[in-house]
Amino acid sequence: MQPEKTNLLGLTQTQLQTFFTELGEKPFRARQLMKWIHQCGLDDFEGMTDMSRALRARLAELACIRAPEIVSCHTSDDGTRKWIVRVASGSCVETVFIPDGRRGTLCVSSQAGCALDCSFCSTGKQGFDSDLTAAEIIGQVWIAVKALGQTADGKNRAVTNVVMMGMGEPLLNFDNVMNAMDLMMDDLAYGVSKRRVTLSTSGVVPGLHRMIGRTDVSLALSLHAPDDALRNLLVPINKKYGIQELLGAVAAYMDSLPDTSRVVTIEYTLIAGMNDSRQQARALAQLLRKTPCKINLIPFNPFPLSDYKRPSAETIRGFQRVLLDAGFNTTLRKTRGDDIAAACGQLVGSVMDKTRRSARYKAAVDASAPAEPVRILDRVS
């Protein structure tokens, strides 16, 4: 049997240098290869004209450049695009591109499904299937950049921001997510600034500690509740790592960044009658008084299997007002592009979960007719 070829798409610059050194080649080959793969969008070695024929043939024998398979691609009238891609386990995950003036944000998945089962999240309701490899994570960027026509000279930059807010909990797939984010920020690959790559977590405290010294990307925390009792209900991982411990870990990471002007983004999904009262807004302001942050309010997006509702516009505005009056920079995530079904944090994909949750999910989807159009969220960071 032929040995499995190494997929070079997911290797960082350092890993590629090791790969070439082991082949008896000079490490600078890594730089050449990265430009071909990530900036020119090549997925075969033939076109890599600055390498000898012999080296190209050797690479083709030992290695490949393989992005996940595109199952479908949808474009909204407002330019929002969604790709459904199949990963090695057979499950499908989603990637969403949201243009907003000069900004283009790509929402990337880190796992097929999610084990954390937050009560308001459709990904969580499907259970967990598998971690994505670094190649499957960066492959989503590779696919988007290629489809959007971003040129190698960087003049036509389509993807200016990346948010790890697709399917999955990024800190539970730590190494692959870190390596993929290294590639996003590498000037020989996508050159996205560290401020514009955002990792969103539901609160995996050990993962936050591991980030210190390993990365310097921006951080978003999915808080969603001002106290432990309610957060235990909405975000079950809170039973393991309570709010105070979590805010401590967030502070430790933010303090590890040399640039003191950077702040954590607090994500707060507003669910009618659960966490949307003015009193809860005041409690949130009190809780965050020592956390330099900006707050992003996300009106809940309904989906099958959930009885939760989105609060009225008036309630949402009232909640925001309390936070603004308390001095917090507080933004409201707008919705748009309801002609294709996609929303960051609400992604469905098609997960072959190991917990049998997805069977229940699919049954509920089939039973709910006609499905309410799912809106795409913009301004994700």
Q: Which residues of this chain interact with ligand SAH, rule CB under 6 A?
A: 120-122, 165, 169, 200-202, 222, 267, 269, 298, 300-301, 303, 344-346
Structure token digits, residue 338:
């309801």
Judged by CB under 6 A, does residue 137 bind ligand SF4? no
Judged by CB under 6 A, does residue 246 bind ligand SF4? no
Q: How far apart are CA 31 and CA 377, in angstroms?
A: 36
Q: Is 314 an active-site residue?
A: no
CB of 373 to ligand SF4, least distance (A): 21
CB of 22 to ligand SAH, least distance (A): 36
Q: How far apart are CA 52 and CA 29, in angstroms?
A: 11
CB of 85 to ligand SAH, least distance (A): 17
Judged by CB under 6 A, does residue 123 bind ligand SF4? yes
* Nearer of residues 161 and 222 to ligand SF4, judged by Cβ: 222
CB of 134 to ligand SAH, least distance (A): 17
3-state secondary structure of 1: coil
* Nearer of residues 7 and 123 to ligand SF4, judged by Cβ: 123
| Greatest distance between any 2 Cα atoms in the chain | 70
How large is the angle between the packed helices 278-287 and 313-325, nearest 10 degrees? 30
Q: How far apart are CA 136 and CA 111, in angstroms?
A: 9
How large is the angle between the packed helices 174-185 and 134-147, nearest 10 degrees? 30
Judged by CB under 6 A, does residue 302 bind ligand SF4? no
Alpha-helix residue ranges (DSSP H) falling in 87-133? 122-125
* Nearer of residues 68 and 124 to ligand SF4, judged by Cβ: 124
* Nearer of residues 146 and 294 to ligand SAH, judged by Cβ: 294
* Residues 99-118 close enough to bind ligand SF4 by CB under 6 A: 114, 116-118
Q: How far apart are CA 253 and CA 293, in angstroms?
A: 13
3-state secondary structure of 305: coil
Q: Is 344 an active-site residue?
A: yes
Neighbours of 286 (CB within 10 A): 10
The full length of the chain comes to 381
DSSP assignment of 208-262: HHHHTTT---EEEEE---SSHHHHHHHSGGGGTS-HHHHHHHHHHHHHHSS-TT-
* Nearer of residues 154 and 206 to ligand SF4, judged by Cβ: 206
β-sheet bridge partners, residue 299: 270
Judged by CB under 6 A, does residue 202 bind ligand SF4? yes
Q: Which residue is nearest to ligand SAH (CB)?
A: 345
Does residue 79 contact residue 99 with C-beta atoms inside 8 Å? yes
CB of 25 to ligand SF4, least distance (A): 41
CB of 51 to ligand SF4, least distance (A): 41
Residue carrying the six token digits 């024998």 = 61
> What are the strands, taking DSSP E only, across 30-151?
63-64, 69-75, 81-86, 92-100, 103-107, 111-113, 128-131
- The site partner of 266 among ligand SAH, ligand SF4, none (C-beta below 5 to 8 Å per kind) is none
Which entry of 92, 94, 107, 169 is annotated as an active-site residue?
94
* Nearer of residues 39 and 202 to ligand SF4, judged by Cβ: 202
- The site partner of 76 among ligand SAH, ligand SF4, none (C-beta below 5 to 8 Å per kind) is none
Q: How far apart are CA 225 and CA 275, in angstroms?
A: 6
Judged by CB under 6 A, does residue 169 bind ligand SF4? yes
Which entry of 92, 107, 121, 344 is annotated as an active-site residue?
344
Judged by CB under 6 A, does residue 301 bind ligand SF4? no
Q: How far apart are CA 211 and CA 59, in angstroms?
A: 33
- The amino acid sitting at 53 is R
Judged by CB under 6 A, does residue 124 bind ligand SF4? yes
CB of 171 to ligand SF4, least distance (A): 9
* Nearer of residues 167 and 284 to ligand SF4, judged by Cβ: 167
Residues making contact with ligand SF4 (CB under 6 A): 114, 116-118, 121, 123-124, 168-169, 202, 222
> What residues act catalytically?
94, 344
